[in-house]
Amino acid sequence: MEFDINKIRQDFPILQQKIYGKPLVYLDNAATTQKPKVVIDTVSKYYYEENANIHRGVHYLSNKATESFEIARKNIQKYINAENSHEIIFTKGTTDSINLVASSFGKKFISKDDEILISVMEHHSNIVPWQILCEEKKAKLRVIPINEKGEIIFDVFEKLLNEKTKLVAITHVSNALGTINPVKEIISKAHKKNIPVLIDGAQSIPHLKVDVKELDCDFYCFSGHKVYAPMGVGVLYGKEKFLEEMPPYQSGGEMIKNVTFEKTTFNELPFKFEAGTPNVGGVLGLSAAFDYLNKIGRENIEVYENELLNYATEELQKINGLRFIGTAKHKTSVISFLIGDIHPYDAGIIIDKMGVAIRTGHHCAQPVLDWFKIPGTIRASFAFYNTKDEIDRLIEAILQVIKMFG
């Protein structure tokens, strides 16, 4: 399909509005993405026409909702190229998926003095669950360092892998820096020592073609809302061999086969990990979002977003006094920067008043900002519905900030 930006923008109703009398420029896509009409319509159709609880009912609507839900699972399996549909576990999002693995994999496979390896640039969701697990099990959290560009130092990573390492948990793309980590090489090195790898895919699934079989990752986690789908739904992909061995995470309905007061037996995959009523509408919305992205073409999206990133980087570099945080060779769709000594929050307020939505602060990645010895940045993050004109509007807003603060 031809990549027609004007037509694409028409698919996103929220982008048509004005903020403070100016057309909205939405550059906070790493926090959450906007939803195309087809996703909104899918969710709305579910509640208008199909709403029923799934898996247990014998009536027409329940069967219909169950069928749509399981078709969606297969569609999502295909999108990330997982081997089996029962390796797709529906969760609330990336945070929930990582917590599931930390709790369940942790219970089964982590003991005293074991090591879990993460990197400096992780989001808090890929730090805190491991930290808590390590405290509980008296295991050790080890951290892969980065260089001044915001790239992991591969040699040190290799040296950190040892017989005590029981898991590597690393982000595919950093939300604070935009760095694309060499996860395929990381996975391959870890596997040589039989160490499984969890990939935090929250920021890669919207921008890169993700093929879990090709990556050979053992777990891959993502959130629907960062990939043009509703909030409150996400996925944990896990290899069958691990999921089969891992104990249930939460318990209650859906995840059981048989319950007596003496003993409960658990359901098979994927239901063993899906206790309680799931977000059916959200799952259908996620499946619709992937259909929509396929229609636009994932290669088209990557090419266009790279063009946007290059344009934004070149144009922002022309402004005196900007300091860029995260200048890795391989990056996608995120530019983090500081304007002289101006506090990011003050800059953010003025930029907002110009109708441009960006994010300021620590981006839930405090350790990496500590590493750069700064409290926060201004972050512009792009999606394929953004345009070069919008980047020009961001630049105008930055120039206004500089003018106001001298």
Number of residues forming the site for ligand PMP (CB under 6 A):
13
Is 359 an interacting residue with respect to ligand PMP (CB under 6 A)? no
Please give the single-letter amino acid code of residue 234. Answer: G
Q: What does the radius of gyration of the chain's CA atoms come to, in whole angstroms? A: 22
Contacting ligand PMP (CB under 6 A), which of 33, 75, 77, 94?
Answer: 94
| Closer to ligand PMP by Cβ: residue 94 or 333 | 94
134, 217, 221, 364: which one is catalytic? 364
* Nearest CA-CA partner of 46 in 61, 35, 57: 61
Q: Rule CB under 6 A: say whether 202 interacts with ligand PMP.
A: yes
State yes or no: residue 360 binds ligand PMP (CB under 6 A): no
Residue 395 token pair: 């630049």
Tokens linked to 100? 């599931």
Tell me the C-alpha distance between 98 and 126, whole Å.
Answer: 7
Residue 119 pairs in a beta bridge with 144
CB of 36 or CB of 129, closer to ligand PMP = 129
Binding status of residue 123 toward ligand PMP by CB under 6 A: yes
CB of 371 to ligand PMP, least distance (A): 16
C-alpha span between 60 and 72 (Å, rounded): 18
CA-closest candidate to residue 377, choices 142, 224, 206, 174: 174
Task: Show the tokens assigned to 391.
Answer: 């980047």
CA–CA distance, 325 with 146 (Å, rounded to integer)? 12
Residue 221 and residue 100 in contact, taking contact as beta carbons nearer than 8 Å: no
Site map 159..178 versus ligand PMP, x via CB under 6 A: ------------x---x---
| In the complex, minimum distance from the CB of residue 236 to ligand PMP, in angstroms, rounded to a whole number | 11
Contact between 223 and ligand PMP per CB under 6 A: yes
CB nearer to ligand PMP: pick between 19 and 231: 231
Tell me if residue 221 is catalytic: no
DSSP string covering 376-387, please?
-EEEEE--TT--
Q: Binding to ligand PMP by residue 203, rule CB under 6 A?
A: yes
Give whichever of 23 and 276 is closer to ligand PMP, judged by the CB atom. 276
Please give the Cα distance from 130 to 318 (Å, whole number): 41
Judged by CB under 6 A, does residue 364 bind ligand PMP? yes
- Measured in degrees and rounded to the nearest 5, phi and psi for residue 77 equal -55, -45
- What's the min distance (Å) between Cβ of 169 and ligand PMP? 11
DSSP assignment, residue 91? E
Q: Half-sphere exposure of 342 toward its Cβ, with a 13 Å CA cutoff?
A: 26
Residue from 33, 34, 77, 95 that binds ligand PMP (CB under 6 A)? 95
- Say if residue 4 is exposed, middle or buried (CB neighbours under 10 Å; 0-12, 13-18, 19+): exposed
Q: How far is the CB of 4 from ligand PMP (least distance, A)?
A: 29
Taking CB under 6 A as the criterion, the residue among 34, 125, 287, 333 binding ligand PMP is 125
Shortest Cβ 285–ligand PMP spacing (Å)? 14
DSSP annotation of 246: S
In the numeric block, which tokens belong to residue 314?
């070149």
Give the Cα separation of 361 and 66 in Å (integer).
42
Q: Which stretch binds ligand PMP (CB under 6 A): 33-41, 63-71, 197-205, 261-269?
A: 197-205
Pick 125 or 165: Cβ nearer ligand PMP: 125
Instruction: Return the number of the residue (342 or 378) whose C-beta is nearest ligand PMP.
Output: 378
Which residues lie near ligand PMP (CB under 6 A)? Answer: 93-95, 123, 125-126, 171, 175, 200, 202-203, 223, 364
Catalytic residues: 364
